[in-house]
């Protein structure tokens, strides 16, 4: 379990830096795009594509960070009113379903990313694997965070977030 916690800490630190860099890109590119469109009368062709791809990466990396910190929306009033044993059972089942769903996202996201390795984006000219890779990377980080939470819940009975 210690290895998983350490790996998650590393993954989430990388995700935080990815979000920071992505936000920096957006802060520079979006005003440049607006300037080009309204002042110069010609928008750079690559800016919209770069913005879209960056937003996808930020969203999925940020989702992993938010999942770890418990920032996602949860409906807890039902669980809080159930007997502890039933509440823990519902929570356990929810975590299992999350692991299954995220595992499917990793598998099919990786499949889609690899399928598009020879396709290039029209404006940037990069392989479409780059934007598609955000899905399996972000889903894997969320899967690892959920696995850590499940193991803590199962072995220690520790509630790490207010999820579900």
The whole-model pTM stands at 0.88
Question: Comparing 29-33, 37-41, 125-129, which segment has the lowest mean pLDDT?
Answer: 37-41
Using left for φ > 0, alpha for ψ between -120 and 50, and beta otherwise, residue 139 falls in: alpha
pLDDT of residue 120: 96
Query: For the chain, what is the mean pLDDT?
Result: 92
Q: Is the pLDDT of residue 74 over 80?
A: no
Q: CA dihedral in degrees (25, 135, 150, 82; nearest 10)?
A: 90
Percent with pLDDT over 90 in the chain? 76
pLDDT of residue 75: 73
Q: Is the pLDDT of residue 49 over 90?
A: yes
| Highest-confidence segment of 17-21, 33-37, 41-45, 74-78 | 17-21
Q: Is the pLDDT of residue 17 over 60?
A: yes
Burial (CB < 10 A; 0-12, 13-18, 19+), residue 53, is buried
- The confidence band for 78, taking pLDDT boundaries of 50, 70 and 90, is confident
- The confidence band for 84, taking pLDDT boundaries of 50, 70 and 90, is confident
Between these two residues, 75 and 10, which has the higher pLDDT value? 10
pLDDT of residue 158: 52
Percent with pLDDT over 70 in the chain? 95
User: What residue spans define the domains of the chain?
Assistant: 2-156
Phi, then psi, of 158 in degrees rounded to 5:
-95, 130
Model pLDDT for residues 108-164, shown as the tens digit of each residue: 999 999 999 999 999 999 999 999 999 999 999 999 999 999 999 888 765 555 454
């Amino acid at each position: 379990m210690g290895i998983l916690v350490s790996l998650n800490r590393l993954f989430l630190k990388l995700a935080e830096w990815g979000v920071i860099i992505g936000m920096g890109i957006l802060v520079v590119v979006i005003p440049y795009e607006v300037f080009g469109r309204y002042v110069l009368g010609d928008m750079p062709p690559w800016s919209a594509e770069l913005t879209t791809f960056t937003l996808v990466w930020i969203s999925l990396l940020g989702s992993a960070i938010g999942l770890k910190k418990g920032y996602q929306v949860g409906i807890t009033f039902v669980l809080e009113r159930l007997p502890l044993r039933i509440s823990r059972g519902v929570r356990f089942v929810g975590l299992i379903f999350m692991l299954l769903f995220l595992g499917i996202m990793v598998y099919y996201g990786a499949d889609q990313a690899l399928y598009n390795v020879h396709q290039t984006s029209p404006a940037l000219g990069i392989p479409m694997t780059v934007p598609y890779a955000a899905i399996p990377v972000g889903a894997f980080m969320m899967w690892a965070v959920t696995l850590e939470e499940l193991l803590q819940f199962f072995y220690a009975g520790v509630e790490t977030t207010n999820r579900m």
